[in-house]
Each structure stands twice: as structure tokens, then as C-alpha cells.
Amino acid sequence: MAKGYVRHKETHEHLAVYGQTPEVMVISCCDSRVTPEGIFNVGPGELFVFRNVANLVPPCETDSGHHGTSAAIEYAVTALKVKHIVVMGHAKCGGIQAFRENAGTSNLEGAFIGRWIKLLEPAAISLACMPVDKIDDPQLAMEYAGVRQSLVNLGTFPFVEEAIQNGSLSLHGAWFDIGSGELRVMDPDTERFAPAEPASIQAAE
């Protein structure tokens, strides 16, 4: 159970006066076992975190829908001008598992979760047609593929593409093993995941 409310008075007084200037946005899953501030060992004001089911980034859509993930990305890139966006998948992701168990069925048409995780369909197609590497664990393979697809989808936002082109923003893929606490990062060239060196995200700045 929660141990209760802890007040970090001085830190928040400073943040209230000077505002937030995080350099890193993390997009991770809602899963309670995946806590970005804990994994990266940082305090208030250091990470701009957005969490949703299965850490998915939708493609840029300009319809009248309520696009919470896209709004957070827009704010991070255009207002906060973050230097890095990290899409962080994780082991034993229930959203990924639900997609794997229901792909190709009508279960993905209904309610909110089903329609949301349909965003993984292009990732599943890429995995079937152009696997980056041979992974025997289909759950892990899909977790990696979901991160890769979200990075592709990030590039469909014009303000993201522009920031990448002018060198002010870089995108990163990561995956967290909730069983061991190991963080793996994606090589941007090979798109393969390997264990991270401590503080490698900061070192990439």
C-alpha cells in the first residue's frame, strides 16, 4: 500500500517560481510496476512523463477527436522544447498481451482499450514481414515492435519532424524488465535492444 503523502517543500517552491524545464519526455505504460522517475532516479521537474496503455504513440491525426497523447507531445516539443523523447516499453505488458490474444478478432473493435491497442496493428505487420531480429518470445518481440512503431508514429507529427531536422530533438526507444529492473535501449541504426549503461540517456545529450 502507499506509504503516504511526502511534501518536498523546497523543491516545489523552486519549481513554482522558476517553472518547469525538463529536457526529457518519457512516454511509458500505465502499468504500476513501471515508474519513469524511479527507473531514471530523478525527482520532480526533471522528466515530462506521459503514460498510457501500452506506451503507444498514435500517428498524427487532425480530426476532431480528443488526442491526449498527441497534445502532450505537442506541448513537450513546441512549448517545453524537450531535447529527447523516450518511448519506454516494458516486460509483461498487459496491453501488448491483450492485443496478441485478440488480434484479428472483433474484440479490438469495441470499447476504449480494444480500439486503442489496435494502434499496434502496423507493428504486428512489420514484425511478421520485416523482423528486425529473431526473438523466440512473441510477447517480447511485440513489446519491442510496439516501441519501434511508436517512434515511427512520432515522426508523423510535423513539429517533431521539424525539431529532429534542425537538430534540437532526438528520439529513443527503451524497454524495462520489471522482473530484474534492467533497462534496455534501442540502437537507432539497427533498431535492436541491448542493456543500457547507467546514465546512458543523459550521456546521449
In the beta sheet, which residues pair with residue 27?
50, 87
**HSE-up (13 A, CA, CB side) for residue 87:** 31
Residue 142 binds Zn ion, judged by CB under 5 A: no
In the complex, minimum distance from the CB of residue 93 to Zn ion, in angstroms, rounded to a whole number: 3
* CB of 99 or CB of 163, closer to Zn ion: 99
Task: Establish if 143 lies at the interface with Zn ion (CB under 5 A).
Answer: no
Q: How far is 44 from 11, CA to CA, in rounded Å? A: 7
Per CB under 5 A, does 93 bind Zn ion? yes
H/E run at residue 147: helix 138-154
Q: Contacting Zn ion (CB under 5 A), which of 29, 72, 186, 201? A: 29
- Considering only the stretches 22-30, 40-48, 146-154, 159-167, report the one whose residues sit in contact with Zn ion under the rule CB under 5 A: 22-30
What CA–CA distance (Å, rounded) separates 174 from 70?
A: 20
The tally of CA atoms less than 13 A away on the side-chain side of residue 26 is 25
Judged by CB under 5 A, the residue of 22, 24, 31, 60 near Zn ion is 31
Residues in contact with Zn ion by CB under 5 A are: 29, 31, 93, 95
